[in-house]
Amino acid sequence: MPKDTLFLDMRTGIDEGQMAQAAAILRQGGLVAFPTETVYGLGANALDEVAVAGIFQAKGRPQDNPLIVHVAEQEQLYDLVQSVPSCARDLIGRFWPGPLSLIFKKAPQVPLRTTGGLDTVAIRMPDHPVALKLIAEAQVPVAAPSANVSGRPSPTTAAHVHRDLAGRIDCIIDGGPTGIGVESTVLDLTSTPPMVLRPGGVTVEELREILGPVDLDPALEEERTVRIARSPGMKYRHYAPVARVHLVLDRPGVEKRVEALAGELAKAGRRVAVMAPAESIPLYTNGQLLLEPMGQVQKPVTIAANLYGLLRKMDHLGVDDIVVQGIEEKGLGLAIMNRLRKAAGGRIVS
């Protein structure tokens, strides 16, 4: 049965009456999509198994993929976890509210449905006034994955959420475009040294400044060894538009390789777009290619902010293939390239 999805416009400010309505929906077990500083989230009461099951159903998400629990105040953390190591206090002091999800041993009251069957739970405090107010008013911790259909690029506007989930969820709050544009960093504090499971808005370099040694999940390293000849399209795709994504890694002469691959595809009759840093755009001369500047390589924040919207736009334009010029994998570039590798699903050219 399709649901009536209530659309609340809070782009110019928080409306108290509408906010009370959205908070009541959450308290009663409903699903509310809301803006955060990273991407839009699809929220439900994290302590209500039935409500949480609704998230998995609406997104078509595999049951064993755990959710991040969002809080509005630091005190909420202590009811959700078994203990808080001292390094967590330092991280929270520095990065909350903000794009850092921390993994702890979970308290018994957190349902296994929320944690995908794990005995750990990821928690973060989003840095967005609408998200903070919603969680505070609902008076419950809010489990929220990105508010997209599973496998699609994450939503950075309410229109993206609407396209994916209207009729499947109870409410969408429009807070305008999100700022950061890629998801939070996921850091596991139950391993020693702490381990980054997903690079995101807080960089590994920033974490090392506070923590000293920080490991990267070996799966992230493995991802970097995937080559086009070995598994074209065989790997699990994620953050992916309908168009095929080809990722050309950042090496000297990268523009030449991008143009050669894009040109070949265009010659074969496919509609091809090139996504490249603005600084590189003038180096492309093949008139058959649709050129999309994706932000400035000197300011990776501008690339992160544009990334998912551009991938969705390519589908809208009916593009068959997107050839993406990769960037350096440091700072925020690590998160950007992680998402692009997943969107490419193994179509990677080095």
Binding partner at 39 among ligand TXA, Mg ion, none, C-beta below 5 to 8 Å by kind? ligand TXA
- Could you say whether residue 178 binds ligand TXA (CB under 6 A)? no
- Return d(Cα 110, Cα 108) in angstroms, integer: 5
Report the nearest approach of Mg ion to the CB of residue 146 (Å): 3
Residue whose Cβ sits closest to Mg ion: 146
| Minimum gap (Å) between residue 253 Cβ and ligand TXA | 34
The CB-of-113 to ligand TXA minimum distance in angstroms stands at 12
Q: Is the peptide bond before 62 cis (omega within 30 degrees of 0)?
A: no
- The residue from 36, 203, 302, 325 that contacts ligand TXA (CB under 6 A) is 36
Distance from CA of residue 154 to its chain's centroid? 5
From the list 87-95, 144-152, 159-167, 323-331, the region that binds Mg ion by CB under 5 A is 144-152
Inter-residue contact 135 to 121 (CB < 8 Å): no
Q: Which residues of 285-309 are buried (b: 16+ CB within 10 A; e: fewer)?
A: eeeebeebbbbebeebbbbbbbbbb
115 binds, among ligand TXA, Mg ion, none (CB under 5 to 8 A by kind): ligand TXA
The number of residues making up the chain comes to 350
Q: Which entry of ligand TXA, Mg ion, none binds 130, CB below 5 to 8 A by partner kind?
A: none
* SS3 (DSSP) at 28: coil
Q: Are 310 and 302 in contact (CB under 8 A)?
A: no
CB-CB contact of 106 with 80 (8 Å): yes
Q: Where are the beta strands (DSSP E) in 269-347?
A: 272-276, 290-293, 321-325
Least separation in angstroms between residue 252's CB and ligand TXA is 33
Site pattern 145..174 for Mg ion (x: CB under 5 A): -x----------------------------
Cis peptide before 193 (omega within 30 of 0): yes
Q: Number of residues in contact with ligand TXA, rule: CB under 6 A?
A: 25
338 in contact with Mg ion (CB under 5 A): no
Size of the site for Mg ion (CB under 5 A): 1
Distance, in Å, from the CA atom of 301 to the CA atom of 305, rounded to the nearest integer, reads: 6
Minimum distance of Mg ion from residue 18's CB (angstroms): 26
Site residues for ligand TXA per CB under 6 A: 36, 38-39, 41, 65-68, 99, 101, 103, 115, 118, 120-122, 126, 144-146, 183-184, 186, 197-198
